[in-house]
A = this chain, B = another copy of it.
Amino acid sequence: MNPDALRGHMDALLLSVLEREPLHGYAIIEALQERSGGALNVPTGTVYPALRRLERIGYLSSEWATVGGRKRRTYRLTDSGRKQLEGERSAWRQFTTVIGGVLRADTTGTT
C-alpha cells in the first residue's frame, strides 16, 4: 500500500477503529491490520503522532492505564470525534465516487 495514498484518510481509519470501543495505540495498529486483512501495516511513527493530533483537535480523549506492568494510553472517541467520523465517511464516499468516476472514464461511445 503506497504510503501517499493514505494521506488524508488516516484520520478516518483511526476514528473508525475507535468507534466501537476505546483502544490504546498498539492495539489500534493491530486492529487496522486485522480489519484490512493484513494490508494495512501502519508504523508507530505514524500512529502515535496522529493520535496526539486528533486528541489536540478534540476528536479523541485519552487516559493512562497500567495492565500487566505495562503502561497504556487508551484513546476514546469524543462526541465531536463521533460527529467527525460521520463526516469522514461521507467525504470518503464522495471521494471514491469522484476519483472512481474519472478513472473509469468509460466514455468510449461519445458520438
Chain A residues engaging chain B, CB cutoff 8 angstroms: 1-9, 12-13, 16-17, 19-20, 32, 35-37, 39-40, 88-89, 91-92, 94-96, 98-103, 105, 107
* Contact yes or no, A91 B12, CB < 8 A: no
The prevalent SS among residues of A at the interface is: helix
Copies of this chain assembled into the complex: 2
A17 — which chain B residues lie within 8 A by C-beta? 102, 105
A39 — which chain B residues lie within 8 A by C-beta? 94, 98
Q: Closest chain B residue to A97 by CB distance?
A: B39
* Contact yes or no, B1 A40, CB < 8 A: no
* Contact yes or no, A92 B100, CB < 8 A: yes
* Contact yes or no, A35 B92, CB < 8 A: no
